[in-house]
Structure 1
Amino acid sequence: MEAADQGAASTWSPLEPSQAPHSTFGSWMDTGTLEKARMLMRDMDYSRIIGQDEDGDTILHIYTAKGLREWAFAAAEKLRDLEKLDAKEHKGKTALLVAVTANQPDIVEDLLSFGADINACDVKGQSALHLAAHDGMTPLHCAAISHCVTMKALFACEMVDVNLQAKAAEKLSCVQVLLNAGASPLSQEIKSSKTVLHLAVKEGNVVLLHYLLSIPMHNVKDFVNMKAHGHTALHMAACLHGNPRQEEILRLLLSRGADPSIRNMENSLPAHLLQGGPEGDKPNESLLSL
Structure 2
Amino acid sequence: MGVGAFDIKPLGAYGMVLWNTGTKPSKWLCHPVKLFAPRVVHGQAVISVFIYCLRILHIYAAKGMRAYTLAAAERMKLLRRLDAKEHRGKTPLLVAVTARQPAIVHDLIQTGADVNAVDNKGQSALHLAATYGYAQVLQVGKAFMVLIASSHTPLHCAVLAHNTLLREGCQTLTEEQQKDLQHQSEELESCIHLLVQTGASIYSRDVKSNKTVLHYTVQDGNISLLRYFLELNAFKSKDFVNNKAHGNTALHMAAALPCDKNQKEIIQLLLDHGADPSIRNLDNDQPIHMAPSGKSGDQVRHLLKKGKVASAFISCHRNARS
- Shared topology, TM-score over 0.5? yes
Task: Say which structure, 1 or 2, has more relative contact order (CA 8 Å, 6+ apart).
Answer: 1
> TM-score, length-normalised on structure 2?
0.64
Corresponding residue of 2:112:
88
How far apart are the structure 2 equivalents of 1:235 and 1:113? Answer: 37
Alignment of 1:157-172 (within 5 A): 157-158=172-173, 161-172=178-189
Bigger Rg, which one:
2
Corresponding residue of 1:249:
266
- The change in CA–CA distance for 1:46 and 1:140 in structure 2 (over 3 A counts) is closer
CA contact (8 A) 2:69 2:104 kept: no
Corresponding residue of 1:107:
129
How far apart are the structure 2 equivalents of 1:10 and 1:177? Answer: 37
Deviations 1:100-138 (A, max 9, x none): 784153335533143564554xxxxxx5677x7xxxx62
How far apart are the structure 1 equivalents of 2:217 and 2:181? Answer: 18
Corresponding residue of 1:198:
215
CA contact (8 A) 2:57 2:72 kept: no
- The change in CA–CA distance for 1:55 and 1:102 in structure 2 (over 3 A counts) is farther
Corresponding residue of 1:24:
none
In the alignment, does 2:227 pair up with 1:210?
yes
Shift of 1:55: 2.2
Alignment of 1:117-266 (within 5 A): 117-118=143-144, 120=146, 127=147, 138-158=153-173, 161-266=178-283
CA contact (8 A) 1:198 1:233 kept: yes
How far apart are the structure 2 equivalents of 1:77 and 1:69? Answer: 13
CA contact (8 A) 1:85 1:116 kept: no
- The change in CA–CA distance for 1:168 and 1:116 in structure 2 (over 3 A counts) is farther
- The change in CA–CA distance for 1:197 and 1:14 in structure 2 (over 3 A counts) is same
How far apart are the structure 2 equivalents of 1:255 and 1:276? Answer: 24
1:98 to 106, 114, 117: 117
2:98 to 69, 72, 75: 69
CA contact (8 A) 2:57 2:69 kept: no
Corresponding residue of 1:123:
none
> What amino acid is aligned across from residue 128 of structure 2 in structure 1?
D
Shift of 1:47: 4.9
> What amino acid is aligned across from residue 162 of structure 2 in structure 1?
H
Corresponding residue of 1:13:
55
Deviations 1:62-104 (A, max 9, x none): 344458722xx22x23454x6x644423xxx22xx23578415
How far apart are the structure 2 equivalents of 1:261 and 1:59? Answer: 54
CA contact (8 A) 1:9 1:57 kept: no
- The change in CA–CA distance for 1:174 and 1:116 in structure 2 (over 3 A counts) is farther
SS in 1 for 2:301: helix
Shift of 1:51: 2.8
CA contact (8 A) 1:220 1:256 kept: no
Corresponding residue of 2:20:
none
- The change in CA–CA distance for 1:145 and 1:79 in structure 2 (over 3 A counts) is closer
Corresponding residue of 2:82:
57
Indicate the RMSD between aligned Cα atoms, in angstroms: 3.4
How far apart are the structure 2 equivalents of 1:228 and 1:210? Answer: 20
> TM-score, length-normalised on structure 1?
0.70
Identify, as 1 or 2, the structure richer in strand.
2
- The change in CA–CA distance for 1:143 and 1:50 in structure 2 (over 3 A counts) is same
How far apart are the structure 2 equivalents of 1:258 and 1:281? Answer: 19
**Count of residues paired in the alignment:** 243
CA contact (8 A) 2:148 2:200 kept: no
CA contact (8 A) 1:232 1:264 kept: yes
In the alignment, does 2:302 pair up with 1:285?
yes
CA contact (8 A) 1:193 1:228 kept: yes
Q: Which runs of 5+ in 1 are unaligned?
A: 1-7, 21-33, 121-126
- The change in CA–CA distance for 1:178 and 1:15 in structure 2 (over 3 A counts) is closer
Q: Which runs of 5+ in 2 are unaligned?
A: 1-49, 308-322
CA contact (8 A) 1:194 1:227 kept: yes
Alignment of 1:21-36 (within 5 A): none
- The change in CA–CA distance for 1:46 and 1:221 in structure 2 (over 3 A counts) is closer
